[in-house]
Structure 1
Amino acid sequence: MNFTARIITVSDRCSRGERQDTAGPAVAELVRQAGYRVCGVDLVPDEQPLIEAALCRAADEEDAALILTVGGTGFAPRDVTPEATAAVCTRAVPGIPEAMRAASLRITPRGCLSRAAAGIRGRSLIVNLPGSPKAAAENLQAVLDSLEHGLTMLRGGPADCAAEPTKEGVR
Protein backbone atom coordinates (compact mmCIF):
# COMPACT_ATOMS: atom_id res chain seq x y z
CA MET A 1 0.00 0.00 0.00
CA ASN A 2 1.24 3.46 -0.81
CA PHE A 3 -1.67 5.73 0.07
CA THR A 4 -1.43 9.23 1.49
CA ALA A 5 -3.43 10.49 4.46
CA ARG A 6 -4.20 13.98 5.74
CA ILE A 7 -5.43 14.45 9.31
CA ILE A 8 -7.58 17.48 10.13
CA THR A 9 -8.29 18.18 13.80
CA VAL A 10 -11.41 20.29 14.30
CA SER A 11 -11.29 22.10 17.64
CA ASP A 12 -11.90 25.67 18.77
CA ARG A 13 -9.72 25.31 21.86
CA CYS A 14 -6.81 23.66 20.06
CA SER A 15 -6.93 26.18 17.22
CA ARG A 16 -6.75 29.03 19.75
CA GLY A 17 -3.80 27.40 21.53
CA GLU A 18 -5.78 26.79 24.73
CA ARG A 19 -5.28 23.04 24.52
CA GLN A 20 -2.73 20.82 22.80
CA ASP A 21 -3.98 18.61 19.99
CA THR A 22 -3.23 15.05 21.06
CA ALA A 23 -5.93 13.26 19.02
CA GLY A 24 -4.69 14.35 15.57
CA PRO A 25 -1.10 13.20 16.15
CA ALA A 26 -2.35 9.92 17.70
CA VAL A 27 -4.47 9.23 14.60
CA ALA A 28 -1.55 10.17 12.36
CA GLU A 29 0.65 7.63 14.15
CA LEU A 30 -1.99 4.89 13.74
CA VAL A 31 -2.26 5.42 9.99
CA ARG A 32 1.54 5.59 9.66
CA GLN A 33 1.78 2.23 11.40
CA ALA A 34 -0.81 0.91 8.94
CA GLY A 35 1.43 1.91 6.03
CA TYR A 36 0.02 5.27 4.99
CA ARG A 37 2.22 8.26 4.20
CA VAL A 38 0.89 11.13 6.35
CA CYS A 39 1.00 14.45 4.45
CA GLY A 40 0.37 16.41 7.62
CA VAL A 41 -1.91 17.23 10.52
CA ASP A 42 -3.98 20.40 10.22
CA LEU A 43 -5.86 22.25 12.91
CA VAL A 44 -9.05 24.22 12.21
CA PRO A 45 -11.73 25.75 14.46
CA ASP A 46 -15.31 24.49 14.52
CA GLU A 47 -16.36 26.71 11.62
CA GLN A 48 -18.08 24.92 8.75
CA PRO A 49 -16.59 27.09 5.95
CA LEU A 50 -13.06 26.55 7.32
CA ILE A 51 -13.60 22.80 7.70
CA GLU A 52 -14.96 22.61 4.15
CA ALA A 53 -11.97 24.57 2.81
CA ALA A 54 -9.50 22.26 4.58
CA LEU A 55 -11.27 19.17 3.22
CA CYS A 56 -11.34 20.56 -0.32
CA ARG A 57 -7.66 21.54 -0.15
CA ALA A 58 -6.66 18.06 1.02
CA ALA A 59 -8.76 16.35 -1.68
CA ASP A 60 -8.43 18.70 -4.64
CA GLU A 61 -4.96 20.21 -4.26
CA GLU A 62 -3.06 17.50 -2.34
CA ASP A 63 -4.96 14.53 -3.79
CA ALA A 64 -4.80 12.82 -0.38
CA ALA A 65 -6.29 9.33 -0.67
CA LEU A 66 -7.58 9.30 2.91
CA ILE A 67 -8.69 12.38 4.82
CA LEU A 68 -9.49 11.84 8.48
CA THR A 69 -11.14 14.54 10.55
CA VAL A 70 -10.85 14.38 14.33
CA GLY A 71 -13.52 16.14 16.39
CA GLY A 72 -16.76 17.99 15.86
CA THR A 73 -19.00 14.91 15.61
CA GLY A 74 -21.03 15.36 18.80
CA PHE A 75 -24.20 17.17 19.77
CA ALA A 76 -22.71 20.56 20.73
CA PRO A 77 -24.05 23.45 18.64
CA ARG A 78 -20.57 24.06 17.16
CA ASP A 79 -20.04 20.39 16.18
CA VAL A 80 -20.47 20.74 12.41
CA THR A 81 -17.84 18.39 10.98
CA PRO A 82 -20.42 15.93 9.55
CA GLU A 83 -22.27 18.79 7.87
CA ALA A 84 -19.02 20.10 6.36
CA THR A 85 -18.16 16.61 5.16
CA ALA A 86 -21.57 16.11 3.55
CA ALA A 87 -21.34 19.52 1.87
CA VAL A 88 -18.08 18.70 0.05
CA CYS A 89 -18.65 15.02 -0.79
CA THR A 90 -20.30 13.78 -3.96
CA ARG A 91 -21.06 10.30 -2.59
CA ALA A 92 -21.83 9.14 0.95
CA VAL A 93 -20.21 6.03 2.45
CA PRO A 94 -22.58 5.22 5.33
CA GLY A 95 -21.11 1.79 6.13
CA ILE A 96 -17.93 3.26 7.62
CA PRO A 97 -19.57 5.35 10.37
CA GLU A 98 -22.10 2.56 10.94
CA ALA A 99 -19.23 0.13 11.60
CA MET A 100 -17.50 2.64 13.88
CA ARG A 101 -20.68 3.23 15.90
CA ALA A 102 -21.27 -0.53 16.21
CA ALA A 103 -17.73 -1.02 17.49
CA SER A 104 -18.10 1.92 19.89
CA LEU A 105 -21.32 0.50 21.31
CA ARG A 106 -19.37 -2.57 22.41
CA ILE A 107 -17.22 -0.24 24.53
CA THR A 108 -19.67 2.43 25.71
CA PRO A 109 -23.42 2.99 25.45
CA ARG A 110 -22.60 6.53 24.33
CA GLY A 111 -21.21 5.19 21.06
CA CYS A 112 -24.62 5.71 19.48
CA LEU A 113 -24.30 9.48 19.98
CA SER A 114 -21.64 9.92 17.29
CA ARG A 115 -22.80 11.86 14.25
CA ALA A 116 -19.69 10.90 12.24
CA ALA A 117 -20.04 10.78 8.47
CA ALA A 118 -17.92 9.45 5.62
CA GLY A 119 -17.93 10.26 1.93
CA ILE A 120 -16.04 10.51 -1.32
CA ARG A 121 -14.77 13.66 -2.97
CA GLY A 122 -13.03 12.98 -6.25
CA ARG A 123 -10.38 10.33 -5.53
CA SER A 124 -10.40 10.97 -1.77
CA LEU A 125 -12.21 9.20 1.06
CA ILE A 126 -13.18 11.47 3.97
CA VAL A 127 -13.94 9.88 7.35
CA ASN A 128 -14.98 11.71 10.54
CA LEU A 129 -13.58 10.48 13.87
CA PRO A 130 -14.45 11.60 17.41
CA GLY A 131 -12.32 14.21 19.14
CA SER A 132 -10.96 12.22 22.07
CA PRO A 133 -7.70 10.38 21.33
CA LYS A 134 -9.07 7.12 22.80
CA ALA A 135 -12.36 7.22 20.89
CA ALA A 136 -10.67 8.34 17.67
CA ALA A 137 -8.24 5.41 17.85
CA GLU A 138 -11.00 2.91 18.67
CA ASN A 139 -13.19 4.13 15.81
CA LEU A 140 -10.33 4.14 13.31
CA GLN A 141 -9.18 0.66 14.30
CA ALA A 142 -12.72 -0.63 13.70
CA VAL A 143 -12.48 0.20 9.97
CA LEU A 144 -8.78 0.59 9.18
CA ASP A 145 -8.32 -2.89 7.70
CA SER A 146 -11.16 -2.30 5.22
CA LEU A 147 -10.03 1.12 4.03
CA GLU A 148 -7.18 -0.13 1.83
CA HIS A 149 -9.60 -2.15 -0.31
CA GLY A 150 -11.96 0.80 -0.67
CA LEU A 151 -9.13 3.17 -1.55
CA THR A 152 -7.75 0.72 -4.12
CA MET A 153 -11.15 0.67 -5.84
CA LEU A 154 -11.58 4.45 -5.53
CA ARG A 155 -8.17 5.07 -7.09
CA GLY A 156 -8.81 2.72 -10.01
CA GLY A 157 -6.48 -0.06 -8.94
CA PRO A 158 -7.11 -3.76 -9.17
CA ALA A 159 -9.32 -4.86 -6.30
CA ASP A 160 -10.86 -8.31 -6.14
CA CYS A 161 -14.20 -7.64 -4.49
CA ALA A 162 -15.03 -11.36 -4.44
CA ALA A 163 -11.91 -12.25 -2.44
CA GLU A 164 -12.52 -13.37 1.12
CA PRO A 165 -11.20 -10.83 3.64
CA THR A 166 -8.52 -12.10 5.99
CA LYS A 167 -7.46 -10.78 9.36
CA GLU A 168 -4.66 -8.89 7.56
CA GLY A 169 -7.03 -7.47 4.91
CA VAL A 170 -8.32 -8.60 1.53
CA ARG A 171 -6.42 -11.44 -0.12
Structure 2
Amino acid sequence: MSEAGRGPELPIGIVTVSDRASRGLYADRGGPAIAAYLARVLVTPWRPERRLVPDERPLIAEVLRELADDLRCPLVLVTGGTGPAPRDVTPEATADVCERLLPGFGEAMRAASLTEVPTAILSRQVAGTRGTTLIVDLPGKPSAIATCLDAIFAAVPYCIDLIGGPRLDTDPSVCKAFRPAA
Protein backbone atom coordinates (compact mmCIF):
# COMPACT_ATOMS: atom_id res chain seq x y z
CA MET A 1 0.00 0.00 0.00
CA SER A 2 1.27 3.48 0.72
CA GLU A 3 4.65 4.59 1.94
CA ALA A 4 4.89 7.37 4.50
CA GLY A 5 5.18 10.85 3.01
CA ARG A 6 3.77 10.01 -0.43
CA GLY A 7 0.49 11.81 -0.06
CA PRO A 8 -3.00 10.81 0.96
CA GLU A 9 -4.11 7.25 0.36
CA LEU A 10 -6.93 6.71 -2.12
CA PRO A 11 -9.64 4.39 -0.84
CA ILE A 12 -10.18 1.37 -3.07
CA GLY A 13 -13.21 -0.81 -2.45
CA ILE A 14 -12.69 -4.55 -2.17
CA VAL A 15 -15.98 -6.41 -1.81
CA THR A 16 -16.28 -10.15 -1.25
CA VAL A 17 -19.70 -11.62 -1.98
CA SER A 18 -20.15 -15.00 -0.29
CA ASP A 19 -22.88 -16.53 1.84
CA ARG A 20 -20.45 -18.93 3.52
CA ALA A 21 -17.66 -16.42 4.14
CA SER A 22 -20.11 -13.85 5.49
CA ARG A 23 -21.29 -16.45 8.05
CA GLY A 24 -17.73 -17.38 9.00
CA LEU A 25 -18.01 -20.88 7.49
CA TYR A 26 -15.41 -20.26 4.81
CA ALA A 27 -12.28 -18.11 4.75
CA ASP A 28 -12.43 -15.15 2.38
CA ARG A 29 -9.66 -15.76 -0.14
CA GLY A 30 -10.93 -13.47 -2.89
CA GLY A 31 -10.62 -10.17 -1.02
CA PRO A 32 -7.03 -10.85 0.07
CA ALA A 33 -6.15 -11.91 -3.50
CA ILE A 34 -7.42 -8.57 -4.82
CA ALA A 35 -5.50 -6.64 -2.16
CA ALA A 36 -2.30 -8.55 -2.96
CA TYR A 37 -2.72 -7.82 -6.66
CA LEU A 38 -3.24 -4.11 -6.03
CA ALA A 39 -0.25 -3.98 -3.67
CA ARG A 40 1.88 -5.41 -6.47
CA VAL A 41 0.58 -3.26 -9.34
CA LEU A 42 -0.20 0.19 -7.89
CA VAL A 43 2.38 2.81 -6.99
CA THR A 44 -0.24 5.41 -6.09
CA PRO A 45 -0.79 5.44 -2.31
CA TRP A 46 -4.00 3.58 -1.52
CA ARG A 47 -5.85 1.83 1.28
CA PRO A 48 -8.38 -0.98 1.09
CA GLU A 49 -11.99 -0.44 2.06
CA ARG A 50 -12.99 -4.07 2.58
CA ARG A 51 -16.51 -5.37 2.79
CA LEU A 52 -17.85 -8.92 3.12
CA VAL A 53 -21.51 -9.49 2.27
CA PRO A 54 -23.79 -12.44 1.59
CA ASP A 55 -25.22 -13.14 -1.86
CA GLU A 56 -28.11 -10.71 -1.39
CA ARG A 57 -28.72 -8.28 -4.24
CA PRO A 58 -29.95 -5.34 -2.11
CA LEU A 59 -27.01 -5.65 0.32
CA ILE A 60 -24.45 -5.83 -2.48
CA ALA A 61 -25.98 -2.76 -4.12
CA GLU A 62 -26.02 -0.89 -0.80
CA VAL A 63 -22.31 -1.57 -0.24
CA LEU A 64 -21.43 -0.51 -3.79
CA ARG A 65 -23.35 2.77 -3.34
CA GLU A 66 -21.58 3.39 0.00
CA LEU A 67 -18.13 2.84 -1.50
CA ALA A 68 -18.84 4.98 -4.57
CA ASP A 69 -20.99 7.76 -3.13
CA ASP A 70 -19.95 8.10 0.51
CA LEU A 71 -16.30 6.97 0.52
CA ARG A 72 -15.54 8.19 -3.02
CA CYS A 73 -13.53 5.11 -4.00
CA PRO A 74 -12.29 5.61 -7.56
CA LEU A 75 -12.19 1.83 -8.00
CA VAL A 76 -14.33 -0.92 -6.49
CA LEU A 77 -13.42 -4.54 -7.19
CA VAL A 78 -16.02 -7.17 -6.34
CA THR A 79 -15.25 -10.88 -6.05
CA GLY A 80 -17.75 -13.70 -6.10
CA GLY A 81 -21.34 -14.27 -7.12
CA THR A 82 -20.73 -14.06 -10.88
CA GLY A 83 -21.67 -17.61 -11.88
CA PRO A 84 -24.96 -19.04 -13.15
CA ALA A 85 -26.20 -20.42 -9.81
CA PRO A 86 -29.49 -18.97 -8.51
CA ARG A 87 -27.76 -17.18 -5.59
CA ASP A 88 -25.14 -15.58 -7.88
CA VAL A 89 -26.55 -12.05 -8.11
CA THR A 90 -23.47 -9.84 -8.13
CA PRO A 91 -23.82 -8.75 -11.79
CA GLU A 92 -27.43 -7.76 -11.23
CA ALA A 93 -26.52 -5.72 -8.13
CA THR A 94 -23.67 -4.04 -10.02
CA ALA A 95 -25.99 -3.19 -12.91
CA ASP A 96 -28.51 -1.79 -10.41
CA VAL A 97 -26.03 0.85 -9.19
CA CYS A 98 -24.05 1.64 -12.36
CA GLU A 99 -24.96 4.58 -14.55
CA ARG A 100 -23.07 3.13 -17.52
CA LEU A 101 -22.04 -0.45 -18.18
CA LEU A 102 -18.71 -1.17 -19.87
CA PRO A 103 -19.14 -4.57 -21.54
CA GLY A 104 -15.57 -4.69 -22.85
CA PHE A 105 -14.27 -5.44 -19.35
CA GLY A 106 -16.37 -8.61 -19.02
CA GLU A 107 -15.57 -9.66 -22.57
CA ALA A 108 -11.82 -9.29 -21.99
CA MET A 109 -11.93 -11.15 -18.68
CA ARG A 110 -13.88 -14.07 -20.13
CA ALA A 111 -11.58 -14.27 -23.17
CA ALA A 112 -8.48 -14.38 -20.95
CA SER A 113 -10.04 -16.96 -18.63
CA LEU A 114 -11.16 -19.11 -21.53
CA THR A 115 -7.52 -19.81 -22.39
CA GLU A 116 -7.21 -21.48 -18.98
CA VAL A 117 -10.58 -23.14 -18.35
CA PRO A 118 -13.54 -23.99 -20.61
CA THR A 119 -16.05 -23.00 -17.93
CA ALA A 120 -15.05 -19.32 -18.28
CA ILE A 121 -18.06 -18.93 -20.54
CA LEU A 122 -20.26 -19.45 -17.48
CA SER A 123 -18.89 -16.33 -15.78
CA ARG A 124 -21.04 -13.20 -15.83
CA GLN A 125 -18.58 -10.48 -14.78
CA VAL A 126 -19.71 -6.97 -15.57
CA ALA A 127 -18.19 -3.55 -15.07
CA GLY A 128 -19.55 -0.06 -15.07
CA THR A 129 -19.32 3.43 -13.71
CA ARG A 130 -21.13 5.28 -10.98
CA GLY A 131 -20.08 8.91 -10.88
CA THR A 132 -16.29 8.92 -10.68
CA THR A 133 -16.11 5.28 -9.61
CA LEU A 134 -15.27 2.26 -11.76
CA ILE A 135 -16.87 -0.95 -10.45
CA VAL A 136 -15.59 -4.29 -11.74
CA ASP A 137 -16.95 -7.74 -10.90
CA LEU A 138 -14.41 -10.55 -10.66
CA PRO A 139 -14.66 -14.29 -10.13
CA GLY A 140 -14.21 -15.72 -6.65
CA LYS A 141 -11.20 -17.99 -7.22
CA PRO A 142 -7.88 -16.22 -6.47
CA SER A 143 -6.07 -17.53 -9.57
CA ALA A 144 -9.01 -16.45 -11.75
CA ILE A 145 -8.94 -13.02 -10.10
CA ALA A 146 -5.30 -12.56 -11.17
CA THR A 147 -6.05 -13.75 -14.72
CA CYS A 148 -8.93 -11.31 -15.03
CA LEU A 149 -7.09 -8.35 -13.52
CA ASP A 150 -4.09 -9.03 -15.77
CA ALA A 151 -6.47 -8.88 -18.75
CA ILE A 152 -8.01 -5.50 -17.89
CA PHE A 153 -5.84 -3.53 -15.50
CA ALA A 154 -3.85 -1.65 -18.16
CA ALA A 155 -7.13 0.12 -19.07
CA VAL A 156 -8.31 0.80 -15.51
CA PRO A 157 -6.31 3.99 -14.75
CA TYR A 158 -7.31 5.66 -18.04
CA CYS A 159 -10.94 4.71 -17.51
CA ILE A 160 -10.82 6.40 -14.10
CA ASP A 161 -9.21 9.46 -15.74
CA LEU A 162 -12.04 9.62 -18.29
CA ILE A 163 -14.79 9.56 -15.65
CA GLY A 164 -13.13 12.30 -13.60
CA GLY A 165 -11.56 10.20 -10.87
CA PRO A 166 -8.12 10.67 -9.30
CA ARG A 167 -4.98 9.53 -11.09
CA LEU A 168 -3.91 5.95 -10.43
CA ASP A 169 -0.37 5.02 -11.43
CA THR A 170 0.94 1.51 -11.89
CA ASP A 171 4.37 -0.04 -11.62
CA PRO A 172 5.21 -0.37 -15.33
CA SER A 173 7.35 -3.44 -14.65
CA VAL A 174 4.16 -5.19 -13.48
CA CYS A 175 1.45 -3.48 -15.56
CA LYS A 176 2.00 -0.67 -18.01
CA ALA A 177 -1.13 1.45 -17.80
CA PHE A 178 -2.34 2.83 -21.12
CA ARG A 179 -2.74 6.56 -21.45
CA PRO A 180 -2.75 8.28 -24.83
CA ALA A 181 0.23 10.43 -25.73
CA ALA A 182 -0.29 14.07 -24.77
TM-score with structure 2 length normalisation?
0.84
> 1:98-113 counterparts in 2 under 5 A?
98-113=107-122
CA distance, structure 2, for counterparts of residue 67 and residue 156 of structure 1? 12
Distance 1:38 1:116 in 2: 24
1:136 CA displacement = 1.3
3-state secondary structure, aligned to 2:125: coil
TM-score by length of 1: 0.89
- Unpaired segments ≥5 residues, structure 2: 1-8, 168-174
Segments of structure 1 that go 5 or more residues without pairing to the other structure are 159-166
Percent identity between the aligned chains? Answer: 47
Q: Sort the Cα spacing of 1:64 and 1:157 in 2 relative to 1 into closer, same or farther, 3 A.
A: closer
Q: Is the 8 A contact 1:73 1:115 kept in 2?
A: yes
Correspondence for 1:93? 102
Moved over 4 A (4+): none
User: Quick one: structure 1 residues 58 and 157, their matched pair in 2 at CA, closer, same or farther if it must change by over 3 Å?
Assistant: closer
C-alpha RMSD over aligned residues: 1.7
Deviations 1:63-115 (A, max 9, x none): 00010100000011000000000001110110011100010111111111111
Any conservation in 2 of the 1:5–1:31 contact (CA below 8 Å)?
no
Summarize the alignment of residues 160-171 of structure 1 with structure 2, pairs less than 5 Å apart: 168-170=176-178
> Match of 2:83?
74
Contact 1:97–1:116, Cα closer than 8 Å, also in 2: yes
Please tell me whether the aligned partners of residues 11 and 49 of structure 2 are also in contact (alpha carbons under 8 angstroms).
no
2:68 to 47, 50, 59: 59
